[in-house]
Amino acid sequence: MVDVMESDKSSEEAFAYTPGLKVKRSMTVTKERRLPLLGNILVKEGDTVSYDDIVAETEVPGDPELVKVTSILGVDVDEVYDFLFKREGDKVQAGEVLGQYKMFFGLINREVTSPIDGEIESISKLTGQVILRPDPIPVDVNAYIPGKIVGIMPREGVTIETQAAFIQGILGLGGEAHGELRIVVDTPDEELTADRISEEDKGYILIGGSLITLEAFKRAVEIGAAGLVAGGMNYTDVTSIMGEAIGVAITGHEELGTTLIITEGFGKMNMSNRTFSLLKSFEGRVAAINGATQIRAGVLRPEIIIPHKEEQGAEEELTAGMTSGTPVRIIREPNFGVIGAVVRLPVELQRVESGSKVRVLVVRLDDGTEVTVPRANVEIIEE
């Protein structure tokens, strides 16, 4: 697999190019909850909130409608005002007559009506276009996670903080949800199949092992489960759920009914032992989940947040270095998904089977064998 270009030289530390996914038992989780437009904040700093509490609200102006009065009535731009009954600021209803053009004792009778309920925003003297604006749509933002309000962005949003276990998945579908955690498999290599889901799982977040089957997803939606979490899903099943193949990994807006999170990758992939045992230790607790993923700008990963009061571990470091002993996961063939620990970080470039000369590292796998892997093909397991 690897050209042997033996070298005694090893670098002490290397900076991981692939950010590891967080699997943390206890940390301070901070969430910004922002309005899409400026609005009102309904809480104050120091308040305690729960999942569904509304923390901010606003009104989003509706999409305007343009009415070409000149062509409908057959009049010139400078005559538009004369034939309209309504003026800027007037409220109108759908179907209501806005203006009329009558000629030859009513033989020619043209009317222009409002296509929507709303208000006349403007009447253009340049084009004769009337712009109608529908009533604004109220938009609420809830807390999503329970915790304390630690910051207010005036008219924009709030920051909520909570103590929680925090687990990032690799890809999700569907948006925010919350529910009690229930483990439906015994080991992380077992599949989450439809027969493991019953009517009693309504509102729960169900944790499986290696694979969420398409039937399991359909069953979960049918009974109203809040979420499904497991190691992997088949590419074709994801295509079937989305109704089309995924092009770029920007998800979270799908309205599926049940939020899906995979923690390892596509295909049948055992959930890592750490993730599985962490989730298992919190069975019965309520968790907030979000499938939203954006891999390009933003590097947003799906998340599982399990609020609890346990003490927090060491503070998080900003730059994650890789050194001898660092636990890593191999994230590309061969040995995709396998977990091990860094043994050496040779300085020199080495030629791998593909012919490329790249920086590599030597990883000792759980069964004791050592493999050489391009550095780009591992991710640090953040503890």
Partner 1 sequence: MATLKRTPEEMRFILVTDVGSTTTKARFFSNESGEWRFVVAGEAPTTVEAPYEDVTMGVQNAVREVEELTGHKILMPDGSGIIVPHEGDSGVDLYCTTSSAGGGLQMMVGGFIKRITAESANRAALGAGAIVMDVFAEDDGRPPYRKIRRIRSLRPDMILVAGGTDGGDRTHVIQLIELIKASDPKPRLGVSYHLPLVYAGNKDVRSNVKDLLSENFALEIVDNLRPVLEVENTEPARRAVHELFMEHVMSHAPGYPRLMKWTAVDIMPTPAGEGMAIQLIADTFKKNTIGVGLGGATTNVYSVVDGRFVRSVSANLGMSYSVCNVMKEAGIHNIIRWLPFDRDEEDIGKRLSNKMIRPTTIPQTLEELIIEHSVAREALRLGLVHHKSIATRLKGAKLGEAFLRDSIFDQELEETYIDMLRLEVIAGTGGLLSHAPDRIQSMMIITDAWQPEGVTWMFQDSVFMMPHLGVLSTVYRDAAWNIFDKDCLVRLGTCIAPRGTASIGSNIMKISWQTPDGIDYEETVKAGEIKRIKLSEGVEVDATIEPARGMDIGAEPGQTLETKVMGGIGGIILDGRGRPLQLPDEAEKRMSLLREWLSAVEMYPEELISRIY
Residues that bind partner 1 (CB under 8 A): 1, 15, 17-18, 37-38, 61, 63-66, 68, 77, 121-122, 124, 126-127, 129, 131, 170-171, 234-236, 238-239, 244-249, 265-267, 293, 295-299, 318, 331-334, 336, 352-358, 373-374, 376-377, 379
Nearer to partner 1, 126 or 314 (CB): 126
Taking the complex as a whole, the smallest distance from the CB of residue 285 to partner 1 amounts, in Å, to 27
DSSP 352: B
- Shortest CA distance to 179 belongs to which of 298, 282, 250, 85? 282
Minimum distance from CB of 236 to partner 1 (Å)? Answer: 6
* Shortest distance, position 319 Cβ to partner 1, whole Å: 9
Identify which of residues 201 and 379 has a Cβ nearer to partner 1 in the complex: 379
Shortest approach of partner 1 to residue 41 CB, angstroms? 15
Quick one: 93 or 236, whose CB is closer to partner 1? 236
Helix axes 235-242, 214-223, angle to 10 degrees: 40
Choose between 175 and 203: whose C-beta lies nearer to partner 1: 175
**248-264 burial, b for 16+ CB within 10 Å, e for fewer?**
eeebbebebebbbbbbb
**CA distance linking residue 291 with residue 303, whole number of Å:** 7
> Smallest distance from the beta carbon of 17 to partner 1, in angstroms?
5
Burial of residue 139 (number of CB atoms within 10 Å: 0-12, 13-18, 19+): middle
Q: What is the DSSP letter of 61?
A: P
Alpha carbon distance 122, 116 (integer Å): 15
Nearer to partner 1, 7 or 236 (CB): 236
Write out the two tokens for 39.
Answer: 């609005």
